[in-house]
Structure 1
């Protein structure tokens, strides 16, 4: 286990290049089992969750060749259908093997997936959708998925627009005979990027980027080479690092369309972003001030499925609000434990009222003081790191390996950009 030690007050400045999207990389690696031919993924983020998915593939018998940010995976002749219990418990994304494995190889056994503890994360939508396609499922100590003789495309209405459920059902549907229509599908940028990879592999998918995906199943898929789109959550986290420390930062390798939503809501906190074709610039020394709603009402920031504000950026936005003049209500609709990390911010000096597990009210600006804390999940962990960057004194953040699951060499990159940060212990 490792710990990050940060001395705050140093501007984050320079140029940062955004890596590939974590939430696109994980389902794409699972999609490799849909074909016997090699699949090459470029711009792959080098994070712990990606390594766990590669380890699962290798354990199943796949050939895995990783060079820098490029991985080539060949799943010809997989020798197993049981996923390692230890590996499944390291990453929630292990459940993404259910759809492609059962579609291509007829069966798979998956242990209860691990991942962040940010609330109740049900997989009922996965099970319901796959069963409608004709997959028999046992849910005792492990999840056992078996393709039945009735495996066939159908109309599926998701009871929630779950990203991973959409991806799982989609990856099964591309090999299911006939037409499948997925209603209330998630349409996040990383879901769209998965659709683009599957299309390169020979899948027939219509409605990409909408809440209605139409899939005409094919007999086989072939290999492909695909470059992952950039990670807008990672990019927005570095925007916050610059804003909180008064630095001027250029962020390269972004898709400006991803920031239509993010930029709008960051603007409500007084943040200015200068957008270019594939980059953005964060001007230095910004004075944050929360913009009241009409009638001087306290503004509210709430998350939701795309194109609403991403849940993964709620924790980051809460830290930003502690340094902004004014008051704002944050309403986390998707995960009831996402807000629990605010206790640490209160210990640092933030003025926060926690109304219930889903809502907090923040009044700023507050002068934060460094302290010792521990990372409870990926997004809360990086948010505590952001708070430490703008706090007075020294902060210690334990369980840094949890942050490593979603951010590539975050301490090294922040140090390169001017932070006083070091790691003790092994990753």
Structure 2
């Protein structure tokens, strides 16, 4: 079992520069897209995180050939050995559901276990199933598995009842090989969805309206190979930006997309941080001596990302006043609150709202990470908590952050991974 130990304090500002890795949430659907073609897909700027290895293992079990070297991944699926993604593989990562659409679109059949991943409440996959059903697939759900079959998918007019990143990705991949035109309405507009669509276009897909709420996909008979760069991880970038503001530091992030971070930058400025973009692909964060309270409501892109909620909660424990965080995307996404209370934070949860009263002087303690972003929040709290903080169950953070302790050490944090 591995843990991360931080020796923090209120007067230990982070300084220096850090390189942001490729986006976990962009690379996973891109890997799934390799199932749509018999030709080779080359993905660049791939983050070396556990979810990438899990997705590679899943595709390997299906029959894919993969090679990952120095953040470059080559995948090829000339044929498959099986159409079933078993529970043993799927349970560790919710993004496994993204193989459903590509499998049924190219091979006519898919059997995928209901997914696992972060335990942060209800993330229904019915929108994926409804979309495939409208494309002509027969869908059954039994014994914990989704079974989808169709000789060939047919274009359709599909309206997503609610914003769904994974659902949009699954259906746009499936529609790329469907016969005729598919209209997708109320699409997720996240940069990761756009990055996937750009890959599909390179492979030969015909997609209009990328980045808009309505997309039109004209199906083609087959897709080819492509070389594609994964966008920088906006959540990793946001996490380090909060770290800079939280510790009253001065850090520079390299290889970032400021246009993907508009709401994060806006909220950090409201909290008192100085944010600069000294040159293309860089962001500088200079913390303020006084952190201002700020209300935050999570919402789909281009709104404030739910994946930054835990990190900002930690920042707001140091604000001079009361802040209210409203979580509208997922239920049960305040599980990190109890751990922050152990460190000395003053937070009250009422339904979908968390009331954060600051400033609180945090002191180190042993805490447990409940999910990926909560674990990042606990690491940030450890940076400013007096004494020693030990974060347990760090396998969550390894799912989505590449070498996080090494990067924080590079900025001056006293942090290490320990084994027991």
Normalising by structure 1, we get a TM-score of 0.95
Question: In the alignment, which residue of structure 1 is the partner of 2:402?
Answer: 408
| Correspondent of 2:338 among 343, 356, 367 | 343
1:179 deviates by: 0.3
Q: CA deviation at 1:345?
A: 1.2
Gaps of 5+ in 1: 291-298
1:284 positional shift: 4.6
* Structure-2 separation of matches of 1:177 and 1:6: 55
Deviation per CA, 1:235-262: give whole Å up to 9, x if none: 0100111222222110011111112221
Report the Cα offset of residue 285 of structure 1.
4.9
1:227-306 paired onto structure 2 within 5 Å: 227-275=229-277, 276-290=279-293, 300-306=295-301
What's the counterpart of residue 309 of structure 1? 304
Q: Deviations over 1:70-120 (max 9, x none)?
A: 000010022111113211011001000000010011111111211001111
Task: Answer yes or no: is the 8 Å Cα contact 2:37–2:225 preserved in 1.
Answer: yes
Instruction: Return 5+ residue gaps in structure 2 as ranges.
Output: none
Equivalent residues in 2 for 1:73-222 (5 A)? 73-149=75-151, 151-222=153-224
Q: Which of 317, 320, 330 is equivalent to 2:315?
A: 320
Partner of residue 389, structure 1: 383
Separation in 2 of the partners of 1:256 and 1:373? 33
Q: Determine the C-alpha separation between the residues in 1 that align with 2:379 and 2:194.
A: 30
**Structure 2 residue aligned with 1:296:** none
Question: Aligned-pair RMSD on alpha carbons?
Answer: 1.3
CA distance change for structure 1 residues 75 and 286 in 2, over 3 Å: closer, same or farther? Answer: farther
**1:109–1:142 CA contact under 8 A, matched in 2:** no
Distance (whole Å) between structure 1 residues aligned to residue 331 and residue 76 of structure 2: 39
Question: What is aligned with 1:418?
Answer: 412
Query: Any idea what SS the aligned residue of 1:170 has?
Result: helix
Instruction: Evaluate the alpha carbon distance shift between residue 254 and residue 242 of structure 1 in structure 2; reply closer, same or farther with a 3 A threshold.
Output: same
Which whole-Å CA distance do the structure 1 matches of 2:300 and 2:40 have between them?
33
Q: What do residues 397-416 of structure 1 show as CA deviations (whole Å, max 9, x unaligned)?
A: 10011110010111121122
Match of 1:331 among 326, 332, 337: 326
**Is 263-272 or 127-136 further displaced after alignment?**
263-272
Retained in 1: the 8 A contact 2:295–2:325?
A: yes
Residues in 2 aligned to 1:146 and 1:96: alpha-carbon distance in whole angstroms: 13
What is the CA-CA distance between 1:342 and the residue it aligns to?
0.8
Establish whether residue 3 from structure 1 lines up as the match of residue 3 from structure 2.
yes
TM-score normalised by structure 2 residue count: 0.97
Structure 1 residues 217 and 425: alpha-carbon distance in aligned structure 2, compared to 1, 3 A threshold: same
Q: CA deviation at 1:149?
A: 4.5
Aligned partners of 1:135 and 1:145 also within 8 Å: no
User: Hey, what's the Cα distance between the residues in 2 that align with 1:64 and 1:281?
Assistant: 37
For residues 288 and 144 of structure 1, the distance between their equivalents in structure 2, rounded to whole angstroms, comes to 48
Match of 1:34 in 2: 36
| SS of alignment partner, residue 251 of structure 1 | strand
Shift of 1:150: 6.6
Give the corresponding residue for 1:373: 367
Query: Within 2, Cα distance between the matches of 1:148 and 1:289?
Result: 55
Query: Are the counterparts in 1 of residues 109 and 150 from structure 2 also a CA contact under 8 Å?
Result: no
Stretch of structure 1 that moved more, 133-142 or 397-406: 133-142
Is this contact kept in 1: 2:65–2:77, CA < 8 A? yes
